[in-house]
């Protein structure tokens, strides 16, 4: 698992009340990744999930029906 740093603004997350890991819609490559990890007995940071700070968490949650690469495009700063 990656350290808890917001993938949008690179802020380290200290308070997890309104911030945290958001899992997005899995693409076929994400399902392949999961199957591979399970087969090899490994753990890692899921390619379809990332950390979001308080400022970006709510929006990320609302976009979680999208695959992650599409959701991240919705964040324009
Ligand atoms: Zn952020």
Q: Domain ranges in the chain? A: 20-73
Task: Report the separation in Å between the CA atom of 37 and the middle of ligand 1, taken as the mean of its atom positions.
Answer: 28
Torsion angle (degrees, nearest 10) of CA 62, 10, 5, 67: 40
Those residues whose beta carbon sits under 5 angstroms from the ion ligand 1 are 6, 8-9, 53, 55-56
Instruction: Give residue 11's pLDDT.
Output: 96
Q: How confident is the model at residue 77 (pLDDT cuts 50, 70, 90)?
A: low
Q: Which helix (H) or strand (E) holds 20?
A: strand 20-23
For 34-56, what is the mean pLDDT? Answer: 96
Task: Report the separation in Å between the CA atom of 9 and the middle of ligand 1, taken as the mean of its atom positions.
Answer: 4
Instruction: Give residue 40's pLDDT.
Output: 97
Question: Residue 8 pLDDT more than 90?
Answer: yes
Task: Report the separation in Å between the CA atom of 61 and the middle of ligand 1, taken as the mean of its atom positions.
Answer: 13
């Amino acid at each position: 698992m990656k350290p808890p740093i917001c993938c949008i603004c690179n802020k380290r997350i200290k308070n997890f009340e309104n911030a945290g890991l958001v899992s997005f819609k899995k693409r076929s490559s994400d399902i392949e990744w999961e199957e591979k990890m399970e087969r090899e007995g490994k753990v890692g940071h899921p390619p379809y999930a990332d950390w979001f700070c308080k400022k970006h968490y709510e929006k990320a949650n609302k976009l979680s029906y999208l695959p992650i690469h599409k959701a991240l495009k919705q964040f324009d700063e």
